[in-house]
Structure 1
């Protein structure tokens, strides 16, 4: 019975020159995927747009449910994903939460896509 060996083992030389290392390490890939996943939902894109265009570049959670025609729990879920992905800041003021874009977050997301 013939033993199956890898091509480089049978000939003694690698089959081709090794490619350069990956552009992203595992941690960078996970962080980039988290951001891209957050951006992949149309409702979350709309939330980012509403927050960005809000007065002073921020919006109260109370102003985010009506434009999306979604319930408050669903909007809160989407906002949490955007905060966890590092795209939005959340600031509690009394009983209300206000959201604003993390400075440079969208630019960083764009750069991570272009670096692939």
Structure 2
């Protein structure tokens, strides 16, 4: 049953990240919580922590960075455009977030090894 919730969570995040326009980590958490509204926010956070070892916000952040990496690799989107879409006022903030999530600088997104969450 918990695996189904994680699948729903992943699908909801993928749909949200693929939307055009403004996005943010906080907004995606709200959407995820509404998609899984029959679960309490505390239970959802605990579920994600048990399944992935990360809190819900950290999990969403990693998924967001995986989406961004795919956008840059496949479509060649400029970092400035992606940063704006996710509500980051400066592309440098995207580099900082990338380093926090993946443990190294983004440099060239195309030469970074694929990262999988657990």
Q: Which has the larger radius of gyration?
A: 1
Normalised TM-score (structure 1) = 0.36
Greater share of residues in strand? 1
Greater share of residues in helix? 2
